[in-house]
Structure 1
Amino acid sequence: MATPSIIYKDLLFQPHTGANGLPTVEMVDESAGGARAYELRTDRPLRDEFPPDGRIRIAEPEAGPRCRSGSMRFDALYAMAVQEARQNAVSRVSDADYAHGKAFEADVYQTGEKWHFVWTRDLAYALHLGLALYDPERAMRSLRFKASELKACVEGGFRHQIVQDTGSGGSYPVSTDRVVWALGAHQTLCCLEPAQRTAWRAEIFPFLRDTIEQDRRLIFDEADGLYRGEQSFLDWREQTYPQWTADNVLAIAMSKALSTNAAYIFMLETTSACARELGHPAEQERYASWARELREAVNRVFYDADEGLYRAYQLTESGECTLPVKRYDLLGQCLAILFDIADEERARRMLARYPVGRYGPPVVWPQEADVPIYHNQGIWPFVTAYWLKAARKVNNVAAMDAGVRSLVELAASNLSNMENFDFVSGLAHVSVGERVGPVINSRRQLWSVAGYLSLVHEVVFGFRATEEGLRLEPTVTAWMRRSLFARSAHMEIRDLPYQGTVNDILVHLPPVAEFSSAVARCVRVLVNGTDVTGRTLSASELSPRNAWEVFLDASRGDTGDTPDGIVLTVNERNGIYSPPAPEWDDAAGAVRPEEGRLRLSFTQPSDPRIVVDIFRDGQVCAHGITQGEWVDPDSGAYREKIYSYHLVSRHLHSGFTSHPTPGRSTRSAGQSVRIPVAQMSSAGGQRDEHGSLERWGRPDDVIDLRGVRVPRTGRYAVRVEFSNGSGPINTGITCAVKRLEVLAQESGAVIRSAHVIMPQSGSWDKYALSNSLLVDLDEKAYYRLRLFEDPLSRNMSYLASNEKYTARAGGGDSCYNFVNLAGVHLSLINASQDQ
Structure 2
Amino acid sequence: MAHLTPTLHTGHALHDTAYAKAVRDVAGSVTDNTFVAGESWPTVWVRDAAYAIDLGAGLLHPSVAAASLRGVVGTGSVWPQDRAAHFGGWPRLTDSIVGAVGAWACYTATGDLDFLRWSHDVTRTTLARAEREVLDGGLFLGCASFMESNSAYPPRFAFRGRAVGATTALSTNVLYHRAYTLAARAARLLGEDPDPFETRATTLGKAIDDRLWRPDRGHYAYYEDDRPSDRWEGLGNALAALWHVADDDQAASIFRTVRPTRNGLPCLWPPYPLWTSRLLRDEYFYHNGMVWPFVQGYWAWAAASRGAAAVFATELTTLATLAARATTYHEFYHPDTARPGGSARQLWSAAGYLAMVHHGLLGISFDEEIHFQPVVPPGFTSVRLSNLPHRAMTLDLRITGTGTITRLDLDGTPRPEFSIPAGLTGRHRVDITLARPGTGTVV
Shorter-chain TM-score tier: over 0.9
- TM-fit CA distance, 1:144: 1.0
Q: Map 1:13-32 to 2 at 5 A.
A: none
Partner deviation per Cα, 1:202-242 (whole Å, 9 max, x = no partner): 111221111111111111112xx111111001111x21222
Report deviation, 1:87.
0.6
Do residues 337 (structure 1) and 241 (structure 2) align?
yes
Aligned to 1:300: 210
- State which of 108, 120, 126 in structure 2 corresponds to 1:205: 120
**Contact conserved, 1:359 with 1:406, CA < 8 A, in 2?**
yes
Please give the residue correspondences for 1:144-159 in structure 2 after superposition, counting only pairs within 5 Å.
Answer: 144-150=70-76
> Could you say which structure has the higher helix fraction?
2
In structure 2, what residue type is equivalent to 1:471? H
Question: In the TM superposition, what whole-angstrom CA distance separates every residue of 1:693-745 from its partner, at most 9, and x where no partner exists?
Answer: xxxxxxxxxxxxxxxxxxxxxxxxxxxxxxxxxxxxxxxxxxxxxxxxxxxxx
User: What whole-Å deviation, never above 9, does each CA across 1:304-352 have from its counterpart, x for those lacking one?
Assistant: 111011011111xxxxxx2222121010001111111111011101111
CA distance in 1, matches of 2:156, 2:71: 34
Q: Match of 2:420, SS?
A: coil
Query: Retained in 2: the 8 A contact 1:388–1:400?
Result: yes
Q: Distance in 1 between matches of 2:131 and 2:425?
A: 45
Matches within 5 A, 1:431-510: 438=341, 441-466=342-367, 468-478=368-378, 481=379, 485=380, 489-509=381-401
| Alignment match, 1:312 | 222
Q: Is the 8 A contact 1:148 1:163 kept in 2?
A: no
The equivalent of 1:529 in structure 2 is 412
Tell me the residue number matched to 1:353. 257
Q: String of CA shifts for 1:124-159, please: whole Å, max 9, x gaps.
A: 111111111111111000111222444xxxxxxxxx
Decide which of 140, 144, 147 is 1:227's aligned counterpart.
Answer: 140
Letter in 1 for 2:9: R
Alpha-carbon displacement from aligned partner over 1:580-622 (angstroms, at most 9, x marks no partner): xxxxxxxxxxxxxxxxxxxxxxxxxxxxxxxxxxxxxxxxxxx
Query: Does the 8 Å CA contact 1:470/1:538 hold for their aligned counterparts?
Result: yes
The aligned amino acid for 2:139 is L
* 1:425 partner SS: coil
The Cα offsets for residues 551-582 of structure 1, whole Å up to 9 and x where unpaired, read as 11136489xxxxxxxxxxxxxxxxxxxxxxxx
Q: State the distance in 2 between where 1:534 and 1:403 align.
A: 29
> Within 5 A, what are the aligned runs for 1:605-620?
none
Q: Which amino acid aligns with 1:244?
A: R
State the alpha-carbon separation in 2 of the partners of residues 464 and 394 from structure 1.
Answer: 13
What amino acid maps onto 2:82 in structure 1?
D
**Do 2:34 and 2:67's aligned partners in 1 also have CA atoms closer than 8 Å?**
yes
Aligned pair 1:323/2:223, yes or no?
A: no
Alignment root-mean-square deviation, CA: 1.8
Q: Does 1:544 align with 2:426?
A: yes
| Structure 1 CA distance for aligned equivalents of residues 75 and 364 of structure 2 | 35
Aligned position for 1:161: 78
The equivalences for 1:567-716 within 5 A come to none
Distance change (3 Å), C-alpha of 1:491 and 1:287? closer
* Cα pair distance change 1:396/1:261, threshold 3 Å: same
Distance 1:536 1:509, change over 3 A: closer
Give CA-to-partner distance per residue, 1:234-261, whole Å, 9 cap, x none: 111x212221221322111111111000
Aligned: 1:67 with 2:8: yes
Contact 1:377 1:424 in 2 (8 A): no
Structure holding more strand per residue: 1
Q: How far does residue 62 in structure 1 lie from its aligned partner after superposition?
A: 8.7
**SS of the counterpart of 1:324?**
coil
Q: Unpaired segments of 5 or more residues in structure 2?
A: 277-284
Does 2:24 match 1:83?
yes
- Is 1:186 paired with 2:113? no
| Structure 1 counterpart of 2:279 | none
Give how far 1:90 is off: 1.2
Letter in structure 2 aligned against 1:509: G
Aligned-pair identity (%): 29
Q: Deviations over 1:437-460 (max 9, x none)?
A: x5xx01121111101111222211
Q: Distance in 2 between matches of 1:287 and 1:461?
A: 31
- Equivalent pair of 1:190/1:469 in contact (CA under 8 Å): no
Separation in 2, partners of 1:387, 1:417: 17
3-state secondary structure, aligned to 2:325: helix
Give the Cα–Cα distance (whole angstroms) in 2 for the partners of residues 148 and 261 of structure 1.
25
Q: Matched residues in 2 for 1:86 and 1:446: separation?
A: 9
Change beyond 3 A, Cα 1:557–1:400: farther
Consecutive unaligned residues of structure 1, counting only runs of 5 or more, are 1-60, 92-106, 151-159, 316-321, 429-437, 511-519, 559-835
2: CA distance, partners of 1:63 / 1:258: 39
Give the corresponding residue for 2:324. 412
Alpha-carbon distance, 1:299 to partner: 0.4
Higher RCO structure (Cα 8 Å, ≥6 apart): 2
Structure-2 change in CA distance of 1:369 and 1:169 (3 Å) = closer
Structure 1 letter corresponding to 2:104: H
Pick closer, same or farther for the CA change 1:461–1:279 going to 2, 3 Å. Answer: closer
Q: How far is the alpha carbon of 1:543 from its aligned partner?
A: 4.4
Instruction: Tell me what 1:801 maps to.
Output: none
Q: Relative to structure 1, is the Cα distance of residues 324 and 538 closer, same or farther in structure 2, using a 3 angstrom cutoff? A: same
- Is the 8 Å Cα contact of residues 358 and 364 (structure 2) preserved in structure 1? yes
CA distance in 1, matches of 2:240, 2:89: 25
Rounded to whole Å, the distance in 2 between the matches of 1:84 and 1:230 is 29
Question: Distance between the aligned counterparts of 1:170 and 1:240, measured in 2?
Answer: 14
Q: 1:177 aligns with which of 95, 100, 104?
A: 95
